Amino acid sequence: MKNTKLIHVVDTTLRDGSHAVSHQFTAEQIAAIAGGLDAAGVEYIEVSHGDGLAGSSYNYGWALLSDEEMLRAAAGAIKNSNLTVLLLPGIGTQEDLEMAAHCGAKAVRVATHVTEADIGEQHIGMAKKLGMQAFGFLMMCHMAPPEKVVEQARLFESYGADFIYVADSAGAMLPEDVKARVGAVVEAVKVPVGFHAHNNLTMATANALAAVEAGAIFLDGACRGLGAGAGNAQTEALVGVLEKLGYQTGVDFYKIMDVAEDIVEPIMHRPQVVRNAPLMLGYAGVYSSFLLHTYRAAEKFNLDPRDILVELGRRRMVGGQEDMIVDVAYQLAHGKGGA
């Protein structure tokens, strides 16, 4: 039986993909990709430093452009899509959000660790005040049982979030894990639910479909999967797969393939394949953006990146704790092990 349900696509090539190019997107690249995505009919285009507004730093890597320059480059190329930003409370602030709105951002994803939604209350409030669409975005959902994800999703809903996202930031979930969490959230909240996949265990597209089966109507993707760790679900593949299953996305399959192949692929620093370290991210349940920082620390301290990742997973580090990669590497190199 054909399904005519609409799935809303959020493309995060210019945000999650920022990790894969060490936050070095140029204004021309941003304009070309945003313009291509817009013309292909993508509903939401996320543009930010990989770690969100104000993410440019020693801890997360310096961006080539300021947040404002990135947003202006994208806004100038977008006609119909919603320019979207990411904000991690504790890194970005309400002031940053005001700047983004001023640059033309129409939506914000307020992202917190899966147990900490309450640090996003003021930012959701500010988004609504600015007339933006607000997503409550729960990261690292593999670390919490479905009941906890539901409790936190309800908090975001109570603050006024228009949509709730379940994010598999470590690419650690299997389809059954996705269904359990997304399904429980869909039951519990009145607002639409979405899912953000990572491909560390090569499950990104399968997990995205599991989320849809469990009731999600928003999905994240990135062209060629460009993103942290082994990358995201591949937007052009998602569009094709959803179309085969009879879902509508409003995205032109040919055009999105062209954006991926003609615009995104030539600027990639490396193919987005599942090498051993990203595979270990998924296996150990570690935040995907730790990957490139881990490679650097492994080289500096002469360690196997996988050992660093396993230790980070054992310590239950959460998103944003990139600084602990050096801590772990230092302790491992000095034989202190699990400090």
Residues involved in catalysis: 19
Considering the complex, what minimum distance in angstroms separates the CB of residue 117 from other proteins? 10
- Of residues 54 and 216, the one with the C-beta less far from other proteins: 54
Residue 293's CB: how many other CB atoms inside 10 A?
22
CA distance 260 to 146: 34
Cβ partners under 8 Å of residue 186, min gap 6: 193, 214, 215, 216
- Of residues 24 and 331, the one with the C-beta less far from other proteins: 331
**SS3 of the chain: helix, strand, coil, percent, to 5:** 45, 15, 35
Q: Which residues bind other proteins (CB under 8 A)?
A: 54, 57-59, 89-91, 93-95, 113, 115-116, 118-119, 121-122, 300, 315-318, 320-324, 326-327, 330-331, 339
Considering the complex, what minimum distance in angstroms separates the CB of residue 206 from other proteins? 28
Cβ partners under 8 Å of residue 158, min gap 6: none
- Of residues 139 and 201, the one with the C-beta less far from other proteins: 139
Max Cα separation, the chain?
60
Considering the complex, what minimum distance in angstroms separates the CB of residue 47 from other proteins? 21
Considering the complex, what minimum distance in angstroms separates the CB of residue 76 from other proteins? 28
Considering the complex, what minimum distance in angstroms separates the CB of residue 27 from other proteins? 23
Cα dihedral across residues 13, 15, 21, 26: positive or negative: positive
Per residue, the 3-state secondary structure of 176-243, as one string, reads: HHHHHHHHHHHHHCCCCEEEECECCCCCHHHHHHHHHHCCCCEEEEEHHHCCCCCCECEHHHHHHHHH
Amino acid letter at 29? Q
Amino acid letter at 80? N
- Of residues 26 and 331, the one with the C-beta less far from other proteins: 331
Cα dihedral across residues 274, 275, 276, 277: positive or negative: negative
- Of residues 128 and 255, the one with the C-beta less far from other proteins: 128
CA distance 294 to 308: 7
Considering the complex, what minimum distance in angstroms separates the CB of residue 326 from other proteins? 6
- Of residues 52 and 225, the one with the C-beta less far from other proteins: 52
